[in-house]
Amino acid sequence: MTKRIPVILDGDPGHDDAIAWVLANASPLLDIKAVTSVCGNQTIQKTTYNAGRIMTLIDLNVPLAMGRVKPLVADPIIAPTVHGNSGLDGPALPEPKHKPVEQDACTLMAEVIEASEEPVALIPTGPLTNVAALLLLYPHLKPKIRHIYLMGGGIQYGNWTPAAEFNILVDPEAADIVFTSGVPITMAGLDVTEQALVFPEDFERIRAVGNPVAKVVAEWLDFFYGFHRSIGYPGAPVHDAVAVAALIRPDIMTMEDMYVAVETTGDYCRGATVGDRLGVLHRPANARVIMGIDREAFVDLLVEAATCYNKGGERA
Ligand code: RIB
Ligand code: CA
């Protein structure tokens, strides 16, 4: 039996963060050590509350720490049109079983990394504010960060501006710190996450699994698809779950190593992740960028994860 990989989940739930966490919690490959919330899709208060509700639903009993109240420099941007005013509109969820711990997110991250015998993988699926703070405040811990599997950016286009993807745009200064940190990065950007579409017929496969978690995941997809259908998508792009899948099933993806720069200035391009695919800058690659995915294998992964929860919601 191979040793499970210690991971920290950092996100701004958010429907796709929630589905990513259901996937991570179902994987026998991962040992989730902590969860940290970040402001993004909604305010830090709401994403922290949502994190507690998700963790209770999936019986994930690890410390939860609240992240910073705003990006490092920028003013917050939230996304109620996509995720609703609660940040996780749709199905009823249990109240959080546990309160967040006293420590803030980057302190908890540092404590977990420090205490771990093995290097810890970080899976940020929101703005990179907490991860950047960790790297700034605890640079000596970099060698104990196994890898950062992040959802964010897009080499070819943005989704919140023509150039920038939401997570990076919310905190470009943080993203720049992460991409220049020297810590190994796998980037699940829009290039791949917009291929990771889950279609309504896939929702029904998950709903048919029949346990409480599967039912909620299907209803999260119902809600999340509502926004995307209104702008012409044939399915729901479950962006954040691709970052988890990159760790547990890289074999269903195609990836390219390249130098990626984060634009932090400009009227039109702030928050862009500029990928040097052709190597014209002759700079060493700082990110493994996912460019393709086997969509059906990805959906099968989500269905399989849903079957791992039994009638009580806890992981079977
Ligand atoms: O652009 C998609 C990303 O922004 C996802 O992480 C979604 O949850 C939102 O945070
Ligand atoms: Ca997210």
Mean pLDDT of 135-158: 98
Over pLDDT 90: what percentage of the chain? 97
**Ligand 1, atom nearest to 12 Cα:** 10
Query: Are 186 and 7 within 8 A, CB to CB?
Result: no
Catalytic residues: 239
* Domains in the chain: ranges and CATH: 5-306 (3.90.245.10)
| Number of Cα atoms under 13 Å in the Cβ half of residue 92 | 1
Model pTM score: 0.97
**Per-residue confidence band for 9, with pLDDT thresholds at 50, 70 and 90:** very high
Structure tokens at 267: 């009227």
Average pLDDT, stretch 183-209? Answer: 98
Q: For 264-277, what is the mean pLDDT? A: 97
With vertex at residue 187, the alpha carbon angle to CA 181 and CA 192, rounded to the nearest 5 degrees, is 165
Cβ neighbours of residue 156 closer than 8 Å, sequence gap 6 or more:
190, 191
215-233 mean pLDDT: 97
Residue 250: partners with Cβ closer than 8 Å, 6 or more residues away:
186
Cβ(273)–Cβ(175) under 8 Å? yes
Q: Is the CB of 171 under 6 A from ligand 1?
A: no
Write the DSSP symbol of residue 85: T
Q: Which two tokens stand for residue 314?
A: 């806890």
Beta carbon of 202 within 6 Å of any ligand 1 atom = no
Give, as residue ranges, everything with CB less than 5 Å from ion ligand 2. Answer: 12, 14, 17, 125-126, 240
- Give the strand order in the sheet containing 120-124: 64-65, 30-37, 5-11, 120-124, 145-151, 185-188, 287-293, 253-262, 273-276
Tell me which residue of 123, 155, 87 sits closest to 245, measured CA to CA: 123
Distance between Cα 3 and ligand 1 center (Å): 30
Question: d(Cα 64, Cα 101) in Å, to the nearest integer?
Answer: 6
Task: Calculate mean pLDDT across residues 106-119.
Answer: 98
| Model confidence at 1: pLDDT above 80 | no
For ligand 1, atom 10: residue with the closest CA: 126
Q: What are phi and psi of 66, to 5 degrees?
A: -80, 135
Query: pLDDT per residue over 160-174, tens digit each?
Result: 999 999 999 999 999
Under DSSP, is residue 253 helix (H, G, I), strand (E, B) or coil? strand
From residue 311, alpha-carbon distances to 17, 271, 282 in Å are 22, 43, 54
Centre of ligand 2 to C-alpha 152, Å, is 9
Q: What is the pLDDT of residues 62-75, one digit of tens each?
A: 999 999 999 999 99
Q: Which atom of ligand 1 is nearest to the CA of 166?
A: 1
Residue 297's identity, in one-letter code, is: A
Higher pLDDT among residues 314 and 34, named by residue: 34
In whole angstroms, what separates CA 288 from the centre of its chain?
16
Ligand 1 atom showing the smallest separation from residue 165 Cα:
1
The least confident of 71-80, 250-259, 270-279, 290-299 is 71-80
How far does the centroid of ligand 1 lie from the alpha carbon of residue 17, in Å?
8
